[in-house]
Amino acid sequence: MSERRYRVIQWMTGDVGRVGVRHFAENPVYDLVGVLVHTAEKVGKDAGEIVGVAPTGVIATDDIDSIIALDADCVFYTPIIMDVDTVCRLLRSGKNVVTTSGFFHPTEDFAEYGENIRAACREGGTSFHGSGIHPGYAGDVLPLTLARVMSRIDTIRVYEVVNVLTDAPTDHIEWMGFGKDKEKFLAEPTILGLGLPFFAQSMYMIADGLGVTIEKVTAADVKVAVATTDIPHELGRIPAGMVAAQHHEWTAWVDGNPLIVFHAIYLTAGPDMLEPAWEWGTTRYRIVIDGDPPTELTLQGVHQPDGTMAHPGYDWTAMAAINAIPDVCEAAPGWITQLDLGMVRPRGLVRK
Ligand SMILES: NC(=O)c1ccc[n+]([C@@H]2O[C@H](COP(=O)([O-])OP(=O)(O)OC[C@H]3O[C@@H](n4cnc5c(N)ncnc54)[C@H](OP(=O)(O)O)[C@@H]3O)[C@@H](O)[C@H]2O)c1
């Protein structure tokens, strides 16, 4: 098994998919055999040119049928939005699918899709696995990993802190509602709020891992901080007085108590430019477990000598999934969850 190479297809070359192409080109465990793109200008180009590495010999296509006809062990499926019918086609065609685009743990919210995926796996003798940094690692695998060294758990709190100006694509500023009037922002559904069923999958994964049952998942009122001064950014500015930070809090209840609390804190400035003067620090994931012994873990990039710190969010997202490809390919057919995988054995990471 350690000698085996895996023939992989990269499905789309966005922020996550580009990491995939670069890794497949570099890690001898993988043979990149196909690349699907959506953007017309990328069609006909070598995948290496698209992601800024040496030529791979694989020419990008937008022809889905030709990709599905390829012989491959696994598709690293990273489009903006998952198309379940396409995923099922891939699975039925005999290719395993590893994805960052959705379905991280079976929950009621996505039960019908889950059944379709399992049926396609049975038909194709293949496996499906969803992963990423969050959901897929920071808010589920890491808390469960920490649980291993606990003697009692009262509450698990997961904080996702993101500086949107430095550590997210610029389109997120408008897309997430920054710069809006506070009352208008709070009166409308938010992108993050709509994502709760996705993040709740991580809560159910923790609960399943701990052998307890979630009664309900609730959302607290969203909190916002407004800009005390104009906040300039690449596409314009957030005017003073408008929404410049948002804090979402979701709770999973077990036996009438809040067992798992997720905080999603997205900021465009520090306390000197916010009212209230929120101080959440740099982009990172922080897991705090109240219990015995009280335990805390922070996941973040590394501070460089010049004081900067790059947030490797897309690298983590892609690699959390890619590193599971060999184990998913070797698994029995079906939807392979993180709990099914157990300790993943990444291949080819130690190399010259
Ligand atoms: N779980 C996690 O931790 C996590 C974290 C980040 C992202 N994600 C998920 O991972 C997936 C990929 O994220 P990403 O940041 O790489 O996405 P992205 O950069 O926004 O886009 C992915 C690619 O989709 C293709 N595309 C663009 N417009 C399209 C359209 N109208 N129709 C069909 N395809 C189109 C493009 O491919 P080409 O450029 O190749 O043409 C684009 O680059 C998303 O589903 C995202 O939600 C998960």
Q: Identify the residue whose C-alpha is closest to ligand 1 atom 4.
A: 132
Nearest ligand 1 atom, CA 135: 1
Residue closest via CA to ligand 1's atom 1 equals: 132
State how far the Cα of 235 lies from the Cα of 244, in Å rounded to an integer: 15
What type of residue is 250? Answer: W
Ligand 1 pocket (Cβ < 6 Å) reads: 12-17, 37-39, 42, 78-80, 100-101, 132-136, 317
- Strand 243-254 to strand 223-227: parallel, antiparallel, or no bridges (unpaired)? antiparallel
Q: DSSP string spanning 311-346? A: --HHHHHHHHHHTTHHHHHHSPSEE--HHHH-S---
Q: Which amino acid is located at 118 in the chain? A: R
Please identify every stretch of the chain with a pLDDT value under 50, giving residue numbers as ranges: none
Residue nearest to atom 48 of ligand 1 (CA): 100
- C-alpha 78 – ligand 1 centre gap (Å): 6
Task: Give the pLDDT score at 2.
Answer: 62
- Model pLDDT for residues 288-301, shown as the tens digit of each residue: 999 999 999 999 99
pLDDT of residue 1: 52
Q: What is the pLDDT of residue 141?
A: 98
- Of 13, 16, 104, the one to substitute when testing ligand 1's pocket (max ligand atoms within 8 A of C-beta) is 16
Q: What single string gives the DSSP state of each residue in 247-279?
A: EEEEEEEETTEEEEEEEEEEESS-GGGEES---
**Cα 55 to ligand 1 centre (Å):** 23
pLDDT for 130: 98
Centre of ligand 1 to C-alpha 86, Å, is 15
CA-closest residue to ligand 1 atom 31: 38
> Quick one: which atom of ligand 1 is closest to the CA of 138?
3
Among protein residues, the one whose CA lies closest to atom 34 of ligand 1: 38
Q: What is the DSSP string of 173-190?
A: HHHTTTTS-HHHHHHS--
For residue range 236-284, list pLDDT tens digits in order.
Answer: 999 999 999 999 999 999 999 999 999 999 999 999 999 999 999 999 9
CA of 101 to the centre of ligand 1 (A): 8
Q: What pLDDT shows up at residue 310?
A: 87
Instruction: Residue 60: count other Cβ atoms within 10 Å of its Cβ.
Output: 23
Q: Please name which of 3, 120, 135, 132 lies closest in space to residue 76, comparing C-alpha atoms.
A: 132
What domains sit in the chain, N to C, each tagged with a CATH number? 6-131+324-341 (3.40.50.720), 141-311 (3.30.360)
Q: What is the DSSP-derived secondary structure letter of residue 340?
A: H
Number of the ligand 1 atom closest to the C-alpha atom of 316: 3
**Ligand 1 atom at shortest distance from the alpha carbon of 14:** 43
